[in-house]
Amino acid sequence: MPLNPRNIRALFERVGHSPLGERYILRLYVTGMTSRSSRAVSNLKAICEEYLAGRYDLEVIDIYQQPVLTKGEQIIAAPTLIKQLPLPMRRIIGDMSNRERVLLALDLIREPEHGEQRNE
């Protein structure tokens, strides 16, 4: 659902189940400063500032400069965002431009119940 004034109310009515005080630990794996990596960083920072202001830690890891930090993370594509906390851990691959998908993965909104209407 694209975010716009008509559906912002519906979005807030669907706020996820994460408690407001929970701290988010996020790692964004990128490949250098390509345009796709830059978009992912700026898109994710904008989302975090809007929805998680003051309660998130974001670490941006360039897999070319710090390959040892990818060990054990099973990074198969970049950019990849890993939400380590709060649980459950989640992964998103891409430039983070699909805000709804990122918000769902971060548990900041929930999917509509079966039969619930989307305001688009």
pLDDT recorded at residue 115 = 56
Written as six digits, the tokens of 57 are 């830690």
Confidence grade of residue 4 (pLDDT, cut at 50, 70, 90) = low
- Residue 74 tokens read as 């099973």
Q: What residues are paired with 27 via a beta bridge?
A: 59, 82
Instruction: Determine the CATH number of domain 8-105.
Output: 3.40.30.10
Beta-bridge mates of residue 109:
15
Q: If you search the block for the tokens 């904008």, which residue do you land on?
A: 46
* Beta strands in the chain, from DSSP E residues, in sequence order: 24-30, 56-62, 80-85, 90-93
Domain locations in the chain? Answer: 8-105
* pLDDT tens per residue across span 19-32: 567 899 999 999 99
**pLDDT single digits (tens) 28-68:** 999 998 999 999 999 999 999 999 999 999 999 999 999 88
Q: State pLDDT tens for residues 80-112.
A: 999 999 999 999 999 999 999 999 999 998 877
**76: burial class by Cβ within 10 Å (0-12, 13-18, 19+)?**
exposed
